[in-house]
């Protein structure tokens, strides 16, 4: 079968690979859409937990042999530890990610443990379904921020996760939503989906700020523009380095929360929420063009905002 394979540092290629072999309690999923994630674009530049050769892709939807339309929660958790039992499965210390620790969705077919399959309604088209995973991420971040209905929300970064954060904030009656985004293409999308203010940088104070970029500058800004006592949720992973004024965060009682992935309940909630959101900002490409679009995005191209690959 055809697959987009991470073959060496900063290299991805479309290759013919051996077909999938199913393990116990696994089913074959025929991929319909697989989203390219920012974490993958950043993640293959240096040695990490993604070890080549690897079929990446943790954001995918498709059909089973039996014809079920499914979204796949890509987090494989142990199910028996303290965190799994207390339903914080996303924090399982031994969690594995499909598309990172084992083969993912940038292929015609994937082996998926049955416990990770979730039905999606026939009314949700594949392009929108392909954005369920980023929506689940934003929903989890929203919950970590305390589900702050009616407040002033700042979002740094107008990529897929930032846009999903904007949509979740608007869907929850935020009084004001601002987005900081440097690319004019992405800024335009943020405006189109309803952000009240979009510029190169945030202006003023916010009750909650989501950092969907994750470098030293954006982390500093996420604290500077926060109201005393406010919460910033960090989702971005552009860089491990930070250089913020921790003493100011102490004096003004600002909370920093890291956000990664989502619970199974949040993933299901994202499936239910997806039809209600404006998810028109993806572009679908044939898997055979996957290497070209992946490398273009990796090298800084800002459009499409979200690329989905279709085998």
The residues binding Zn ion (CB under 5 A) are 37, 39, 77-78, 81, 84, 92
User: Nearer to Zn ion by C-beta: 27 or 78?
Assistant: 78
User: Nearer to Zn ion by C-beta: 78 or 170?
Assistant: 78
d(CA 224, CA 222): 6
**Shortest distance (Å) from residue 162 CB to Zn ion:** 13
d(CA 297, CA 288): 16
User: Nearer to Zn ion by C-beta: 37 or 202?
Assistant: 37
User: Nearer to Zn ion by C-beta: 75 or 189?
Assistant: 75
Cα–Cα distance list, 159 to 78, 134, 195 (Å): 31, 10, 13
**Shortest distance (Å) from residue 138 CB to Zn ion:** 11
User: Nearer to Zn ion by C-beta: 76 or 287?
Assistant: 76
Q: Strand 2-8 to strand 54-55: parallel, antiparallel, or no bridges (unpaired)?
A: antiparallel
Judge contact between 307 and 282, C-beta under 8 A.
yes
**Shortest distance (Å) from residue 183 CB to Zn ion:** 19
**Shortest distance (Å) from residue 123 CB to Zn ion:** 25
- Of 261, 311, 301, 297, nearest to 40 by C-alpha is 297
Judge contact between 220 and 248, C-beta under 8 A.
no
Instruction: Give the H or E element holding residue 54.
Output: strand 54-55
**Shortest distance (Å) from residue 165 CB to Zn ion:** 14
User: Nearer to Zn ion by C-beta: 120 or 212?
Assistant: 212
> Which residues, including other chains, have CB under 8 Å from residue 179's CB and lie 6 or more apart?
154, 155, 156, 157, 158, 162, 166, 187, 190, 195, 197, 198
**Shortest distance (Å) from residue 204 CB to Zn ion:** 30
d(CA 158, CA 189): 8
55 pairs with which residues across the strands?
5
């Amino acid at each position: 079968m055809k697959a987009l394979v991470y073959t060496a540092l900063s290299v991805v290629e479309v290759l013919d690979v051996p077909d999938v072999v199913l393990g116990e309690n696994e089913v074959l999923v025929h991929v319909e859409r697989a989203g390219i994630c920012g974490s993958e674009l950043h993640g293959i530049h240096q040695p990490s937990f993604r070890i080549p050769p690897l079929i990446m892709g943790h954001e995918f939807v498709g059909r089973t042999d039996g014809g079920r339309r499914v979204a796949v929660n890509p987090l494989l958790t142990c199910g028996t530890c303290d965190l799994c039992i207390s339903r914080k499965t996303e924090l399982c210390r031994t969690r594995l990610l499909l598309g990172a620790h084992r083969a993912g969705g940038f292929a015609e077919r994937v082996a998926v443990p049955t416990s990770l399959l979730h039905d999606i309604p026939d009314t949700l088209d594949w392009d929108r379904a392909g954005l369920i995973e980023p929506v689940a991420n934003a929903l989890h971040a929203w919950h970590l921020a305390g589900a702050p209905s009616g407040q002033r929300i700042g979002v740094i970064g107008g990529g897929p996760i930032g846009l999903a954060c904007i949509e979740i904030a608007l869907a929850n009656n935020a009084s004001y939503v601002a987005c900081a985004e440097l690319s004019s293409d992405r800024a335009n999308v943020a405006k189109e989906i309803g952000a009240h203010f979009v510029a190169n940088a945030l202006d003023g104070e916010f009750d909650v700020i989501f950092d969907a970029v994750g470098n030293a500058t954006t982390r500093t800004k996420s604290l500077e523009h926060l109201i005393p006592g406010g919460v910033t949720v960090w989702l971005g992973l552009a860089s491990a380095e930070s250089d913020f004024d921790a003493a100011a965060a102490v004096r003004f009682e600002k909370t920093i929360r890291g956000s990664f992935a989502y619970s199974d309940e949040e993933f299901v909630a994202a499936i239910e929420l997806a039809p209600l959101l404006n998810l028109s900002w993806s572009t679908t490409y044939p898997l055979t063009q996957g290497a070209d679009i992946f490398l273009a995005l990796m090298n800084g191209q800002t459009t499409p905002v979200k690329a989905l690959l279709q085998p």
